[in-house]
A and B are shown apart, each in its own frame.
Chain A
Amino acid sequence: MLKKGLFGMVLSVALVAMFFVPAYAAPEPYLVGAAISITGPGSEPLAPIKDALDIYFKDVNAKGGINGHPVKLLIEDTMNEPSRAATQARQLVTQNKVSLLILAGLSSLYAPVVQVAEQYNVPLLFLGVCPPETYPPKADPNQFCSTAFGMKFDSSFAVPFIHEQSKGSSLKLALEAMNVPLSRNEIDWAEQLAKSMGIEVVDKEVTPPPTADFTPFATKMKSSGATWAYSYGPWGMEVRTFEALRKLGWKGKYLAYGHIQAEDELKRLKDDDFYVYGTNAFFTDNTQAHQRIKAMSEKEKTVYPYTQLTDGWIGATVIEEVLKKVPWPATPDKVRESMNQVKVDTQGLKGGPIVWTKTNHYRTTGYYRAYKWDSKKNAVVIAKDWTAIEVK
């Protein structure tokens, strides 16, 4: 009995005490708050971002920081829960006084976190995925985006690419999206685009998020007689639909958006007709930046493999570039000011620099590249090199 009472008392005391533990008191560093989906459903493309940020800024701080000040990352795990993300964003802004907020989470987390950014007037940088509010002609003052994908631009590369690849043969296109806003909107746009280019769209599938078995969808796509399929959504859906199609004996070609897992997966699947496209260069390029990521990742023993760190690394480069132009002491306003006119050299990780202006918080030009597996060379090869898409 006494033990139980003690248990309760210790617990309640601990509960109360935890809230009065001073979190972070040191004022010197640049404070950057990040709400990242590290655990919880749908976190697999987002969790590696944390790894990349960690190793990048460890390196930066080891070299003396930015303008003589270290960068302190305050990372919270949203578990992909909207309310939790909102509370954490508020905590980062009001309690930890960060001057830049980062969000890497599913699209359902935008609204709550944007609210906080607006309320406290703090710039918000999206990593992973980002909302159309950052696009020109009128970008939201507080929202910025350095991510790989961008709604309505990705398919502007993908659909013409399919059109081009299928020259000379009949083209029947099947489309697939997951029933999450981003994926669905993009596929709707792709359908519109394809029709305007005279491509015959024979099937469009929208899969619910927790699908156990993609075979029914693949069956429908196959029976529609498609020669090409284009899938835009989480990697799991894209690749599982492809595998389901192959299991059913479908012989067509398949284009998917290349998420962070794409490079390793191309090597696993070894299928000549499986194409991926994206804005990041693969490690086959082996630029200096790639070598650095690989070396740092191996040194720091990151949780995720180095091939998945490019997105986060680019985000970190952007942050460094922004903070460099922020005079000490850093405030949200100064950071925003700096972000409104920044040009980030992506060092070969992308096809070109990321440029932000006052009215464009996405980038002025998007660069896309397509990859595929070449079984003759037994290697991943470029199917179409950097193609610039103007963002207007």
Chain B
Amino acid sequence: MAFASGYFKTSYKADLSLVETRTRWLFLAILIIGLICFPFIASPFLLDLASQVCLSLIGAVALMLLTGYAGQISLGHAGFIAAGAYVTAILFKEFNAPIWVTLPASGLVGAILGIIFGLPSLRLKGVYLALSTLAMHFIVVYMGAEYESRRGFATGIVIKPPSIGPFIIRDPLVWYFLALIAAVAALLFSINLVRSRSGRAWVAIRDREVVAEAIGVKVPLYKLSAFVTGAVMTSISGCLFAYYRGFVSVEAYSLFLTIQYVAMIIIGGLGTILGAVLGTIFVVLLPYTIDAVGRALQVPARLTTYMFAIQYASFGLIMIIFLVVEPGGLVAVWNRIRNYFILWPFKRRPMGR
């Protein structure tokens, strides 16, 4: 196959492989090496951001499965994250439970919440479903607030760093790799899901519910399973986030958090896992990028108050610009850039989408 003009597969199994061509293997290898080397060259601040991206990615991919693939709109994502975080906090505070208890417990509570959040989806869709999940979010956060004020945890609940055996996970470097592994695991899990039976059932429901049912998909079951999968992954990310931050408090799980996750999948591009990745990177880094721009502008101290207000507003503005200029999301931008380089130096673009 030395002069192969294309890459031919010789079995159906080969067609299932995720990484198809040698070039892609090469890119993947570079990416992996880059990710491993990254913490050794980056500043602690960048490392912190990278860990945040990785942890957020789990929640974003989960929302992508739920909304982008199964088509169930949810505005209650922060509720799932809060649930995971509060389960961790409560177990830690009340029973001093270690991470190998809180992590599965968060997942379990997430699963239960997923079913509860998902039940309205059997009857409702679109805006109605979105608003019902929004209501659920408020109720979950209210319960968290009640716990906090009843137990008198004045300024949120502080959680000690988790330990596995004798090792205490505290070092940012360790956290980075932990978050990276968790994110990659979540990514692989999601990619596998969407390319096999369950994922196809979800997309079928999203694209055409009546037809999905006619080919034998148990629609209620699969809707709930989408909610449960999304909720479990998100709750686990909530648990990890709680450990990473070292505290849990109501203010951290406001509607704004949901908005950020929704922004991730829409700005990334609905219906693609890559979109979730790009969207997460974009949304997590955006405020700090805006900060950096603001700082680079060297505004006189007197005007910085206005500068901060502008920064706050520009988060909204950039989101709006994105929605208006590029409804296809970052994936569409990515595909254009890729096509440009694949074709370079030829100008003709392929007849694709």
A and B in contact, CB less than 8 Å: yes
State the A residues within 8 Å of B (CB): 1, 4-5, 7-9, 11-12, 14-15, 18-19, 21, 23, 38-40, 47, 50-51, 54, 58, 73, 75-77, 79-84, 86-87, 90-91, 94-95, 106-108, 110-112, 115, 119, 131-132, 179, 181-182, 184-185, 300-303
The 8 Å CB contact of A8, one of B52, B301, B312, B337, is B337
B252 touches A83 (CB 8 A): yes
State the B residues within 8 Å of A (CB): 43-46, 48-49, 52, 145, 148-149, 152-158, 170, 245-247, 249-252, 256, 282, 285, 287-289, 291-293, 295-296, 301-302, 304-306, 308-309, 311-312, 325-326, 330, 333-334, 336-337, 340, 349
B289 touches A19 (CB 8 A): yes
B157 to chain A: which residues have CB within 8 Å?
Answer: 111
A108 to chain B: which residues have CB within 8 Å?
Answer: 155-156, 249-252
B288 to chain A: which residues have CB within 8 Å?
Answer: 87, 91
Shortest C-beta distance, A26 to chain B (Å), equals: 13
Total cross-chain contacts (CB, 8 A): 144
A184 to chain B: which residues have CB within 8 Å?
Answer: 149
Q: Which of A4, A11, A86, A111 has the most CB of B within 10 A?
A: A111
Shortest C-beta distance, A376 to chain B (Å), equals: 39
Question: Which B residue's beta carbon lies closest to that of A94?
Answer: B44
Question: Which B residue's beta carbon lies closest to that of A78?
Answer: B308
Q: Kindly list the 6 A-B residue pairs having the minimum CB-CB distance in the complex, ordered from nearest.
A: A8-B333, A111-B247, A94-B44, A108-B251, A181-B154, A77-B308
B304 touches A4 (CB 8 A): no
Q: Is the interface of A mostly helix, strand, loop or mixed?
A: helix
B308 touches A39 (CB 8 A): yes
Shortest C-beta distance, B163 to chain A (Å), equals: 16
**12 A-B Cβ contacts within 8 A?**
A8-B330, A18-B293, A18-B296, A23-B292, A50-B305, A77-B291, A81-B251, A84-B287, A87-B45, A91-B45, A112-B246, A115-B247
Taking A8-B326, A95-B44, A303-B305 as contacts, is the C-beta distance between A111 and B149 under 8 angstroms?
no
Alpha-carbon distance A182/B158, docked complex (angstroms): 16
A185 touches B152 (CB 8 A): yes
The 8 Å CB contact of A15, one of B250, B289, B309, is B289
B246 touches A111 (CB 8 A): yes
Shortest C-beta distance, B317 to chain A (Å), equals: 13
A94 to chain B: which residues have CB within 8 Å?
Answer: 43-45, 48
The 8 Å CB contact of B156, one of A76, A82, A301, is A82
Alpha-carbon distance A308/B45, docked complex (angstroms): 34
The 8 Å CB contact of B155, one of A39, A50, A84, A181, is A181
A5 touches B336 (CB 8 A): yes
B45 touches A131 (CB 8 A): no
A9 touches B337 (CB 8 A): yes
Shortest C-beta distance, B311 to chain A (Å), equals: 7
A111 touches B308 (CB 8 A): no
Taking A4-B336, A8-B326, A302-B302 as contacts, is the C-beta distance between A106 and B251 under 8 angstroms?
yes
Shortest C-beta distance, A383 to chain B (Å), equals: 30
Question: Which A residue's beta carbon lies closest to that of B43?
Answer: A95
B251 touches A5 (CB 8 A): no
The 8 Å CB contact of B252, one of A51, A82, A301, is A82
Taking A112-B247, A131-B155 as contacts, is the C-beta distance between A4 and B325 under 8 angstroms?
yes
Alpha-carbon distance A1/B348, docked complex (angstroms): 12
Taking A50-B305, A112-B246 as contacts, is the C-beta distance between A90 and B295 under 8 angstroms?
no
B337 to chain A: which residues have CB within 8 Å?
Answer: 5, 8-9, 12
Shortest C-beta distance, B54 to chain A (Å), equals: 14
A21 touches B249 (CB 8 A): no
B149 touches A5 (CB 8 A): no
Shortest C-beta distance, A140 to chain B (Å), equals: 12
Q: Which of B256, B288, B311 has the most CB of A within 10 A?
A: B288
The 8 Å CB contact of A54, one of B44, B251, B301, B309, is B301
Alpha-carbon distance A84/B157, docked complex (angstroms): 17
B325 to chain A: which residues have CB within 8 Å?
Answer: 4, 7
Alpha-carbon distance A110/B154, docked complex (angstroms): 10
B155 touches A107 (CB 8 A): yes
B312 to chain A: which residues have CB within 8 Å?
Answer: 39-40, 77, 79
Question: Which A residue's beta carbon lies closest to that of B42?
Answer: A19
Shortest C-beta distance, A313 to chain B (Å), equals: 15
B155 touches A110 (CB 8 A): yes
A80 to chain B: which residues have CB within 8 Å?
Answer: 251
Q: Which of A21, A76, A77, A300 has the most CB of B within 10 A?
A: A77
Question: Which A residue's beta carbon lies closest to that of B46?
Answer: A19
A38 touches B155 (CB 8 A): no
Question: Which B residue's beta carbon lies closest to that of A21?
Answer: B296
Q: Which of B152, B170, B246 has the most CB of A within 10 A?
A: B246
B304 to chain A: which residues have CB within 8 Å?
Answer: 50, 54, 75
A111 touches B249 (CB 8 A): yes
B145 touches A179 (CB 8 A): yes
A38 to chain B: which residues have CB within 8 Å?
Answer: 305, 308-309
A73 to chain B: which residues have CB within 8 Å?
Answer: 301
Question: Which A residue's beta carbon lies closest to that of B310?
Answer: A39
B155 touches A90 (CB 8 A): no
Taking A4-B326, A132-B154, A303-B305 as contacts, is the C-beta distance between A82 and B292 under 8 angstroms?
no
Alpha-carbon distance A9/B337, docked complex (angstroms): 7
A300 to chain B: which residues have CB within 8 Å?
Answer: 302
A14 to chain B: which residues have CB within 8 Å?
Answer: 289
Alpha-carbon distance A51/B305, docked complex (angstroms): 8
Alpha-carbon distance A115/B159, docked complex (angstroms): 10
A15 touches B154 (CB 8 A): no
A301 to chain B: which residues have CB within 8 Å?
Answer: 302
A182 to chain B: which residues have CB within 8 Å?
Answer: 154-155
Q: Which of B308, B330, B349 has the most CB of A within 10 A?
A: B308
B256 touches A81 (CB 8 A): yes
Shortest C-beta distance, A155 to chain B (Å), equals: 15
A19 to chain B: which residues have CB within 8 Å?
Answer: 46, 285, 289, 292
Shortest C-beta distance, B298 to chain A (Å), equals: 11
